[in-house]
Chains A and B, each alone.
Chain A
Amino acid sequence: MEVSIKGMKKEDFKDNEYIDKLVEELNASGANVVVGSIDKLINWGRANSLWPLCFGTSCCAIEFMHLGAARHDMARFGFEVARNSPRQADYIMVQGTIVHRMAPVLVRLYEQMAEPKYVIACGGCTVSGGPFKGSYCVVEGIDKILPVDVYIPGCPPRPEAMFYGLMQLQRKMKVERFFGGVNRQDKIKDFLAKHPEKAEAMK
């Protein structure tokens, strides 16, 4: 099965192995025809209606504003309904450094979001601490405190890179199953297995 994203061919994506592996896992157990089609429909809806939570801490947020502005216009993909309330957002795109004071706020925001929810680490700071690696109060990569779905490197990433990241998220969403086995749950389990100390905090 090939996960199709309108306007971008499979070979244009750089990490097909990861998605292919997910598809394989899904197909291994087989899918019911009816449930499978409903899943497809729902995933189509979910992937095409990604409402971001406005969460910019620094430079990347300005590039995100450019993503919404006229030239790049993320509205074309239906991403433009930026919600300010985490309850109504689908994914949180962390734009900018997360520091010690911000970390609990970010985790709380994530917890306030309604499932299914996704996290995009946008920019070098959120991927690894970026230029501020080694500082006394910078969280070196938000994957230390949140399960991250897509990483977008760059300092700040260009709007094109952000589109690529968002399309990757769309592809990922399209191989999930809403009915039956849910990869999403596995992801959180994996995350908690890796970070046992977070298991308490996530509850």
Chain B
Amino acid sequence: MVDLKEKIGKLCPSATFEDGEVLRVCVDAKEWRALAEQLKNDADLNFDYLVAVIGCDWKETLGCVYELTSTASRAMLEVKVTTADRENPMLHSVSDLWKVAELQEREVFDFYGIKFIGHPDMRRLFLRNDWVGYPLRKDYDANPEINPIRLNLEENEDDSLTYVEENGKVVEKKYKLFADDDYVVNFGPQHPSTHGVMRLRTLIDGETVSKVVPVPGYIHRGIEKLCESHSYPQTLMYTDRMDYMSAHQNRHCLCLCIEKALGIQVPRRAQIIRVMMDELMRMSSHLLSYGCMTMDMGATTAFFYGFREREQILDIFDKTCGARMSLHYNVIGGVVADVHPDFIKDVRELCAIMPSRLKEYHKLFTGNVIAQNRTKGVGVITKEQAINYGITGPSARATGYSCDVRKHTPYAIYDELKFDEVIETAGDSFARYMLRMREIEQCVSLLEQLCDLLEKEEGNEICAKVPKLIKLPVGHWFQQVEASRGAFGVYIESDGGKNPYRMHFNSPCLNLIGVVDLSCSGYKIADLITITASLDYVIPDIDR
């Protein structure tokens, strides 16, 4: 392990450092590009995984916070890059170093108007291309007359542009995404197998897909902006509605982040309950993923089998949380109420039937010769690509990339539990599918252990003492958990007030749509559906 401060100080003498949970390096916009190249390519540093690009408006300056991790040494680093130019803010893009930055930088551009020099496709990501202003800037004018509900469809949506530096000057270059005679088919926004309102502009050559341009934003609800006008307990409610298939994990993450900032110790019983809920949620999510994938491939009956067990899990949620989907169960300091008296019994019952049900799924779908031919060798992603595109969760683990947050940076009581990080190496649709099925087995074993632990903690308190009015001290925090679809991160920046100054949700699904083009090009239309189904993204998590 090298001393990061010393090493970076040598590489970039003007950098300043802030100590914290993770070392933060502050550099000016001009030096960022050179530092980034060093950080990525230096053999000692080797920060090959860019976790998040978080845009922020610090009133005098605009800029980004880059969360970096090295997959080899697990070292973490934050880089804060600022520019004082508010009129025409520009930063150098790092999307050629870390592919994951491509979508994330577009998001920053969309929210803050920061243009990235060298980014290949500098369009808006979530908002309409005729939107006026940049909504997450602190001086944004939210007057609905400026941006009314426009009922005309967007025009010139294939016009893209890029900023290139030529002779020390930044030049804007316009280009079209598709040629005039290209046969472009829209999959979505209203399409049965985009799993929501995703739009895939797909260039087709006969039956073969040659290029996919994802257009998200059809469910962009501005959650990050809304959070800035809500108090901390109120912001919890949005996490359940982003990736609604990992509502518990997301909420767990935000609670952990706030608890970390406040220094609250969560009672053990609450931690066990939280982890149990996380694993139940993961199981239900993987069951849904099984159902949707089989249905997208035409095997409708398998869908109903997956949903049968999902209903049983939802019943458990229903009894304890009082809701089936938006559960609102975790609160700052613990959980909102104790579990239902039947909880342990129900979970044990579920664990008992799951192995036989899994056998049934495999009989119905996995072993089917058509299913195997459709998924094996289709949509291959390599480990290097997975890291570079920043994908996490089951889709990344299917490439042989060990990235389970529960293993690498354990939170709650995960370090006490015995479980395997499921890894597949093929990286194709079948590996992703099988990995989810195997993770369900792991969930069952985890839940069995947790039931025993919870029984020992019978009657203990479930929520720590929390002040009535929650105010975070000045500072910034970043927390990640393993959600159903990958590492879900929360970044909070506080100015000491009762509302967060900036709250960013780093969703795993946004990175997943980055690999759609990579993994689908060259395959057939039917494979596009299979691959996107096996990547298993949830659209509201992308758009937030």
Contact between chains at A136 and B135 (CB < 8 Å)? yes
Quick check: is A63 within 8 A (CB to CB) of the other chain? Answer: yes
Contact partner, B128, options A56, A86, A100, Cβ 8 Å: A100
CB within 8 Å for A102 and B189 given contacts A62-B288, A137-B222: yes
Docked Cα-Cα span, A62 to B244, in Å, equals 9
Interface of B is mostly: loop
Contact partner, B304, options A58, A59, A69, Cβ 8 Å: A69
Contact between chains at A134 and B226 (CB < 8 Å)? yes
Q: B539 — which chain A residues lie within 8 A by C-beta?
A: 57-58
Most central of A55, A65, A86 by chain B CB within 10 Å: A65
Q: B303 — which chain A residues lie within 8 A by C-beta?
A: 69
Contact between chains at A99 and B218 (CB < 8 Å)? yes
Contact between chains at A57 and B135 (CB < 8 Å)? no
Contact between chains at A103 and B540 (CB < 8 Å)? no
Q: B150 — which chain A residues lie within 8 A by C-beta?
A: 100, 103-104
CB within 8 Å for A59 and B326 given contacts A103-B150, A105-B218: yes
Quick check: is B221 within 8 A (CB to CB) of the other chain? Answer: yes
Using C-beta atoms within 8 Å of the partner chain, give the interface range for chain A. 35 or more
Docked Cα-Cα span, A100 to B217, in Å, equals 9
Contact between chains at B238 and A131 (CB < 8 Å)? yes
What sequence of 0s and 1s flags, for each residue 217-246 of chain B, a beta carbon within 8 Å of any chain A beta carbon?
111111101100100000001100100110
What sequence of 0s and 1s flags, for each residue 87-105 of chain A, a beta carbon within 8 Å of any chain B beta carbon?
0000000001101111111
Q: A102 — which chain B residues lie within 8 A by C-beta?
A: 189, 197, 218-219
Contact between chains at B191 and A137 (CB < 8 Å)? no
What sequence of 0s and 1s flags, for each residue 118-135 of chain B, a beta carbon within 8 Å of any chain A beta carbon?
000000001110010001
Contact between chains at A104 and B221 (CB < 8 Å)? no
Q: A103 — which chain B residues lie within 8 A by C-beta?
A: 149-151
Closest chain A CB from B224 CB (angstroms): 10
Q: B151 — which chain A residues lie within 8 A by C-beta?
A: 103-104, 107, 145, 201
CB within 8 Å for A138 and B222 given contacts A58-B244, A109-B190: yes
Q: Write the chain A residue with the least CB distance to B314.
A: A66
Q: A139 — which chain B residues lie within 8 A by C-beta?
A: 149
Docked Cα-Cα span, A96 to B222, in Å, equals 14
What sequence of 0s and 1s flags, for each residue 39-80 of chain A, a beta carbon within 8 Å of any chain B beta carbon?
000000000000001111111011101100111000000000
Contact between chains at A137 and B244 (CB < 8 Å)? no
Q: Write the chain A residue with the least CB distance to B146.
A: A136
Quick check: is B147 within 8 A (CB to CB) of the other chain? Answer: yes
Q: A97 — which chain B residues lie within 8 A by C-beta?
A: 219, 221, 540
Contact partner, A136, options B225, B307, B310, Cβ 8 Å: B225
Contact between chains at A55 and B135 (CB < 8 Å)? no
Docked Cα-Cα span, A63 to B241, in Å, equals 13
Contact between chains at B153 and A135 (CB < 8 Å)? no
14 pairs from A and B in contact (CB 8 Å cutoff): A53-B190, A57-B196, A59-B540, A63-B324, A63-B325, A84-B192, A96-B197, A97-B540, A102-B219, A132-B221, A136-B222, A145-B151, A156-B325, A156-B326
